[in-house]
Structure 1
Amino acid sequence: MQTLEERAVAEALRDSGGEAIRLYVAACSERMVPLFIGLRAGVPGREADLDFCVWSVRDLWHTGQPLADAAERVGVLGRFPEH
Structure 2
Amino acid sequence: MVVDEVVAAAIRRQSQAQVATFVASCAERMAQVFTGLYGDDPVRNGDTDVVIRLVEDLWNPAISADAFQGYVTSLDGFQELEPSDEEIVDVVGVYTFYSVLVLRYAALYRSSADVEDALKCAHASLTATGQLDQNLQDAEFFAQEAELQQRVSSLGDLGADPIQRLRDGDRAVSQERLVAIQGRLTR
TM range (shorter): 0.7 to 0.9
Query: Structure 1 residue 66 and structure 2 residue 63: aligned?
Result: yes
CA distance in 1 between partners of 2:68 and 2:51 (Å): 13
Runs of 4+ in 1 over 3 A off after TM superposition: none
Q: Which amino acid aligns with 2:21?
A: L
CA distance in 2 between partners of 1:2 and 1:43 (Å): 33
* Bigger relative contact order (CA 8 A; separation at least 6): 2
1:17 Cα deviation after fit: 2.4
CA distance in 1 between partners of 2:79 and 2:38 (Å): 11
Identity of aligned residues (%): 32
CA distance in 2 between partners of 1:18 and 1:2 (Å): 22
Q: Show the counterpart of 1:33.
A: 31
2:57 and 2:63 in contact (8 A); partners too: no
2:20 and 2:58 in contact (8 A); partners too: yes
Larger helix share, 1 or 2 = 2
CA distance in 2 between partners of 1:42 and 1:60 (Å): 24
Q: Show the counterpart of 1:45.
A: 43
Q: Return 5+ residue gaps in structure 2 as ranges.
A: 82-187
Distance 1:2 1:54, change over 3 A: closer
Q: Which amino acid aligns with 1:55?
A: R
Query: Structure 1 residue 10 and structure 2 residue 39: aligned?
Result: no
RMSD over aligned CA atoms reads 1.7
Number of residue equivalences = 80
Q: Return 5+ residue gaps in structure 1 as ranges.
A: none
